[in-house]
Structure 1
Amino acid sequence: MSTDTVLRELLVRQLDHWLPGALHRSRRATLALAYAGSDITGAEAALRVVAEFADRLRGRRLTVLVLADGGAALPPQLGAAGTALPADVAVHVVPGHPDRLPVALKAAGAAGAPLLTVIDGGEPDPAVLAAAASGRPAELLIITEPGRSLRPVLTAAGFPLVTEVELVPDADAPVRLVGYATASDRGLEALKDALWAVDEYAGVRYRDPADPAGRPVDITLAPEPGPLRRELLAELARSGPRTVTELRRFAVTSTVYRAADANRAVTSLLASGAVTRVPEHGRLGGDVVISAVPDTAAGPTA
């Protein structure tokens, strides 16, 4: 098991969410898969997912772009995965680096219709990201090396909603940074659900770049809330009292966690005395105001 296993499963789960919506919204859509190397096993998995939606593709047009190193070897490698594809799917293999994505997307007429782009490897080039944002709507999944936040460059490219997470393998393998960008609340929620539903035995843990302590956590449907507690306390220290609804929104848009995880984290913080609430009693509804206790606002919580 490896980060590649988690990434393939994450792509499959996101495609399961994206494809039905894209095909319902428009008569045409584009899936662009760009790889900095020659390993395109993710593209093979994606084509198998597309084949499963053959009945929904009737009367629609789905273009699948695959950009990767490998030249003439790429089409045979994709052959087995593509044999079950219906005639409504056009697969175009473009040898080369992800920096060719703007030209490939323009040639495919991807602008103005649903577009999901996956970029695996390489530096996040602004021109490439801008091309990925040309869909209506546009979603982007980017995998690169850690060391800087993807949020500023993805926001600058035109994506209002961004999340990022580091994949930390148990073995001596490199850490990968995964960013997801969209304009859709539902797309972001689906990605978050997919993140925590992938194989927990893959030998990979997550690290939220926004966590002040930077501690990896296990993949599980009910993630350990320690990092989110620290992030919520840091947000309360920066911004002052916030309603539960605002903290839920912060968790979704600024951390790797989901809205439901924020509820559990706030409940835990209240039980520990790290925060207070107004009103003091009753259901923890969205309009309840949460404030950090001054002595704990700046300190980490396990």
Structure 2
Amino acid sequence: MSIRAVTRELLVRCVDTWAPGNLHAQHGAAFLYASARGIDHDAAEAALRAFGEFGDRLRGRLTLLFVAPGIEALVGRFAAVQREIGTPAEMAVHVVPGGNVGAVLKAAGAASGPLLAMVDDSVGKSFKAAVVLLTAPAGTWEKQRSELHAAGLGLTVGVELVDGDSEMLVGFGTRSDKSLEAFKSELWALDEYAGVRYRDPRDPEEHLMDISLEPNPGALRRELLARLGDGGLTVTELKRFALTDTVYRAADAQKLIVALLHSGAVRRSPEGGRLGGDVVISLAPTASG
């Protein structure tokens, strides 16, 4: 499967996890798919179909906005899909061939409710979104991460998709721990996409990882040990680091801490008892020196 197929599936899964908790918003909810260069029409249709699955749950207005140059052909394509799946009147679909994203959101009356956005690096992030899924060139994660933080999305993850000579960054930003955990769960659940591999953009060794529910912990091992080089941290702090600063999940960190203790690479304080969140983990003397 191609990188585009993986990105499209991640978008659909974002819709599936975001929609149930946001379609009851008093002022309505909105989805934005925008680019100053152009969008994947297949991904746009997949998003429309995914939201259509929730048509019977709508309690307010749902606005879907597709903003990019050269998307006029989507008007007819969307009309056919809407007839096929029977989208309700509360679901408004707008295809806008370019323009300022903030102004488009305001004009559509979608600037006040919860917003899920899919954008690329050609779109600024000054609009207020609850969740942002973005694509950008590989090697730009620190820049994209800073922009997401500046937009108020303090919980982020970036992963580079690699398929032969092709590569692309996918980033995710949210304000919710639960949302970040859900995205990471979906990220590692795409194991049917053989051929595409992940790379943690913060891994100095640029290790490639197969997509698997049980990911190779090599990159996380290096990152946790490097983090512990600055001093001991609690299990809770290490799990938090894995969640917010790596492509891994908090549960992956928990498993790895156990393995590192068994190997003697790290030590714990106190030495005995349950491995609770307040147990301090530090580098073993041989590992640190």
**Same-fold status (TM-score > 0.5):** yes
Aligned pairs for 1:1-302 within 5 A: 1-35=1-35, 36-57=37-58, 59-83=59-83, 84=85, 85-96=87-98, 100-120=100-120, 122-123=121-122, 125=123, 128-131=124-127, 134-135=128-129, 138-148=130-140, 149=142, 150-169=144-163, 171-172=164-165, 174-238=166-230, 240-297=231-288
Distance verdict in 2 for CA 1:288–1:8, change over 3 Å: same
Which AA in structure 1 matches 2:90? Answer: D
Change (3 A) 1:179 1:65: same
CA distance in 1, matches of 2:279, 2:189: 30
Shift of 1:82: 2.6
Relative to structure 1, is the Cα distance of residues 38 and 143 closer, same or farther in structure 2, using a 3 angstrom cutoff? closer
When normalised by structure 1's length, the TM-score is 0.89
Cα separation, partners in 2 of 1:280 and 1:117, compared to 1, 3 Å: same
Aligned-pair CA distance for 1:69: 2.5
The answer (yes or no) to whether the contact 2:25–2:60 under 8 Å persists in 1 is: no
Once the 2 structures are TM-superposed, how far is the Cα of residue 197 of structure 1 from its aligned partner?
0.7
Q: Per the alignment, do residues 246 and 179 of structure 1 end up closer, same or farther by CA in structure 2, a change over 3 Å counting?
A: same
Q: How many residues align?
A: 284
- Classify 1:72/1:13 alpha carbon distance in 2 versus 1 (closer, same or farther; 3 Å): closer
21-30 or 214-223: bigger deviation: 21-30
Unaligned runs of 5+ in 1: none
- In the alignment, the residues of structure 1 paired with residue 107 and residue 64 of structure 2 have an alpha-carbon distance, to the nearest angstrom, of 12
Do the aligned residues in 1 keep the contact of 2:49 with 2:81 (CA within 8 Å)?
Answer: yes
Q: Deviation per CA, 1:206-234, whole angstroms, max 9, x where unpaired? A: 11112232101111111111111111111
Quote the Cα distance in structure 1 between the aligned partners of 2:8 and 2:186.
11
| Deviation of 1:282 (Å) | 2.5
Contact 1:118–1:140 under 8 Å retained in 2? yes
Q: Secondary structure at the match of 2:72?
A: helix
Matched AA of 2:215 = P
CA contact (8 A) 1:162 1:254 kept: yes
In structure 2, C-alpha distance between the alignment counterparts of 1:26 and 1:180, rounded to whole Å:
25
Deviation at 1:295, TM superposition (A): 4.3
CA RMSD of aligned residues (A): 1.7
Q: Which consecutive unaligned segments of at least 5 residues does structure 2 have? A: none
Contact 1:5 1:202 in 2 (8 A): no
Residues 67, 97 of structure 2: 8 Å contact kept: yes
Contact 1:234 1:297 in 2 (8 A): no
**Offset of residue 70 of structure 1:** 1.8
Which residue identity does 2:256 align to in structure 1?
A
* Paired letter, 1:78: F
